[in-house]
Structure 1
């Protein structure tokens, strides 16, 4: 099996993980709305979906059409970062429980979560996203995708974190 095929399997696995996240998010959104939750900062959400879909597509297109090589000295450490990013992402999801979502939803009366990775910094899920956005493309030297996603994601996270911080400011701490 060629490195391109193996890389395609990796990107497909990351895509499947993203679909699993959406299932969890949909379930959590229903729970949050049933508890009186309200969504804020939703204007950026379609751009976020397009950007994350574009990351996966860009990885594949650049590798297959750009004939990118697998460079072991770069690829293996980047793969380790992808796996680490996934572990951090699911640690965030498990820590937040019903409060985790791909959207910014605030449920009245709930406290701000400060356990798990949130003990160390405010937005650990975005650390996972940033790491993955760099590392996943670089597993197979798709540097244009890594650079493009990173720049666009920086702009998106500026808007997203501002919306989240504003919404979280109204929550009590545990």
Structure 2
């Protein structure tokens, strides 16, 4: 039980910290002349992630952990950190197009066009599996797939419309 609470607390603090970082970076990118693209679906993404995490707190806080899945989740955190550190001040949870900026092609972006979404897809599925909740993982993975389809289309349109977009 204590390990479940610690894992959920760590994920919650990570997500809250990311929101603070994203807000700061978004303000800076907009101040540099950036413009947001695809804002209409942003509240859906936030709602999905909030519901996912709240549900995990409700249903998994006292569940035993599946060690193998925790290891996979830890690996996803390494990719998350690599992605965020590669983008630095350009990372945000929104799609911001900044004139004069070039696309990042280092770090995980050498191998994947959207490494952050690989992490998100993995986390949505794997964290519930850490608590032996496969149906929860499946339901949120399917909903996440629908939302990310919209998100990635908007981002790809922004990237193809301008070679100067940041990649979240």
What is the TM-score when the length of structure 2 is the normalising length?
A: 0.91
- In structure 2, which of residues 142, 154, 158 is the aligned counterpart of residue 163 of structure 1? 154
Task: Confirm or deny that 1:107 pairs with 2:107.
Answer: no
Task: Confirm or deny that 1:10 pairs with 2:7.
Answer: yes
What is the TM-score when the length of structure 1 is the normalising length?
A: 0.88
Task: Confirm or deny that 1:95 pairs with 2:86.
Answer: yes
- The equivalences for 1:7-156 within 5 A come to 7-63=4-60, 70=64, 75-156=66-147
Q: CA RMSD in A?
A: 1.7
Question: CA offset at residue 90 of structure 1?
Answer: 1.6
How many residue pairs are counted as aligned between the two chains?
164
Q: Distance in 1 between matches of 2:124 and 2:148?
A: 12
Q: Distance in 1 between matches of 2:133 and 2:9?
A: 16
Spell out, residue by residue over 1:74-110, the C-alpha distance to the aligned partner (whole angstroms, 9 max, x if none).
x111101111111111211111112111001111110
Q: Distance in 2 between matches of 1:15 and 1:6?
A: 14
Question: CA offset at residue 125 of structure 1?
Answer: 0.6
Question: Is contact 1:81-1:132 (8 Å) kept?
Answer: no
Structure 1 unpaired stretches of 5+: none
Q: Distance in 1 between matches of 2:121 and 2:38?
A: 20
Structure 2 unpaired stretches of 5+: none
Question: CA offset at residue 172 of structure 1?
Answer: 5.5
